[in-house]
A = this chain, B = another copy of it.
């Protein structure tokens, strides 16, 4: 019974591959089936519809991004470092999920109920993460903030609205990345977070 999730994961992997390749409308169920080397009935044994699969792909990827962020954050002590990691991982995640995002914004927008609910949910989760970091910082007298919740909303919204992934290239060395991030954080949050 351990295989069940393995196969499900394989389907999602194959689906993500063809979705990002063809877009939502242009991919057929047979495309997905072929990409994973199995028949269509295998897919329908685990999922109820194409829509269902796409939603699962999106949720899987964003869950992965969230857990990655949380794990990395947990490994750091200093809230300043934690905030930096949140920004870095958020940017890398956005870059990796660019195609899925694009489908959500353009093709899948017809399913507004899902898109809207998903957006709200992920926003809420991210705000919670950042609020947690900020609260710790305030407790330890590292950040001096009047309202950590409102500040979190500002940070999350700022990161969403800006095409920040473009600022960081894959060939950037670590040191360059560090410099840019420090500058970025200064620009973004100067006056909100004083250190």
Contacts and interface: CB of A to CB of B under 8 A. Distances in A.
A114 interface: no
A172 to B, nearest CB: 15
Interface of A: 22, 26
A95 to B, nearest CB: 20
Nearest to A27: B26
3 contacts: A22-B22, A22-B26, A26-B26
A22 B26 CA distance: 8
A62 to B, nearest CB: 26
Contacts of A26: 22, 26
Tallying the copies of this chain within the complex gives 2
Nearest to A22: B26
A141 B69 CA distance: 68
A41 to B, nearest CB: 24
Contacts of A22: 22, 26
* Nearest 3 A/B pairs, CB to CB: A26-B26, A22-B26, A22-B22
A48 to B, nearest CB: 25
A65 B163 CA distance: 36
A113 B142 CA distance: 73
A22 B22 CA distance: 6
Nearest to A28: B26
A22 B21 CA distance: 8
Nearest to A23: B22
Nearest to A25: B26
A170 B60 CA distance: 36
A145 B62 CA distance: 63
A136 to B, nearest CB: 43
